[in-house]
Chain A
């Protein structure tokens, strides 16, 4: 009988490709945001609003992850922004290899800010580094304030959190106090922006913060 020592990281292949992506993005001074949430939280609507505000002053691109359709990509395309669709054919998350391939199809060296809209899922995407600069997690008031505690890992990893559908707050049992308390323990350094994709409320504060991040990344 022999023992063979392996010490092989099971996500090692992905992490290698993520590092490659990260170097590629850094070389172009491009800020890359991995946008994550559960299905229906409003990622695409927030993207549309963000493009409305920043599209005039920044060159933006979007990689859209979706199981089968290109509906979200069509919405983004209408905003006049370069978009590449990835269909995961049922897989629950994007991985670094998929993002690297999609990035190769975007015009090279011609962007300031790129969003990767991940598959709607609060579990698996958290485990896969795509080479992004940071992760932005969207949660909406209609989902309930318990989501950070139910999916602590994804909220812990977020650099920034957007609370969407703030216009619907009076019609839900969402407790802002409880939500803030939970995040203060889980991820105290992440700023939280309260927005409404539908009315546009709060979008300006979010885009101003984002613009600061883009400028910081520029060489």
Chain B
């Protein structure tokens, strides 16, 4: 998708927060992305490497947790991990009214850094 602008957004968010928390240097950032968020982890890493050249981010590691797609059937209420992103039919009872309850995540969980 637009990984570069996403990474830029994350870095701005961290910079702003670090300023308030008196953090001088970042060691780690943790992102959570769902399989349905259409964001590629490799591409995020590449963009992060390219953008994190300054003192503040230079030694930081970007950790990415990928979440599976979880669906819940509207009829039988069972939950399933969706292996096939093309099939939104309940594997349990065959109903076609399933809800996606996990897999769309795209958020910055936390960051770690060193205080002044």
Interface residues of A (CB under 8 A from B): 1-12, 92, 123-124, 126-127, 148-149, 152-153, 156, 182, 184-189
Contacts and interface: CB of A to CB of B under 8 A. Distances in A.
A3 B38 contact: no
B17 interface: yes
B50 interface: no
A185 B37 contact: no
B23 A153 contact: no
Interface in B89-116: 89, 96-97, 106-115
Interface residues of B, number: 33
A189 B96 contact: yes
Contact of B110 (A4, A9, A92): A4
B112 A2 contact: yes
Pairs of residues from A and B, 10 with the lowest C-beta to C-beta distance, nearest first: A188-B96, A185-B87, A6-B108, A3-B112, A5-B110, A10-B106, A9-B107, A8-B108, A152-B85, A152-B86
14 contacts: A1-B115, A2-B21, A4-B110, A6-B14, A6-B17, A6-B108, A8-B13, A10-B10, A123-B1, A123-B38, A124-B1, A149-B86, A153-B36, A185-B87
Contact of B111 (A3, A10, A127): A3
A186 B37 contact: no
Contact of B107 (A1, A7, A152, A182): A7
Interface of B: 1-2, 6, 9-10, 13-14, 17-18, 21, 23, 27, 31, 36-38, 85-89, 96-97, 106-115
Nearest to A186: B86
Given A1-B27, A127-B38, A153-B36, 18 more contacts: A1-B113, A2-B21, A2-B23, A3-B111, A4-B17, A4-B23, A4-B113, A5-B109, A5-B110, A6-B17, A6-B108, A6-B110, A92-B2, A149-B86, A153-B85, A186-B88, A188-B96, A189-B96
A92 B2 CA distance: 9
A108 B14 CA distance: 39
A2 B89 contact: no
B25 to A, nearest CB: 10
A4 B30 CA distance: 11
A170 to B, nearest CB: 28
Contacts of A148: 86
Contacts of B13: 6, 8
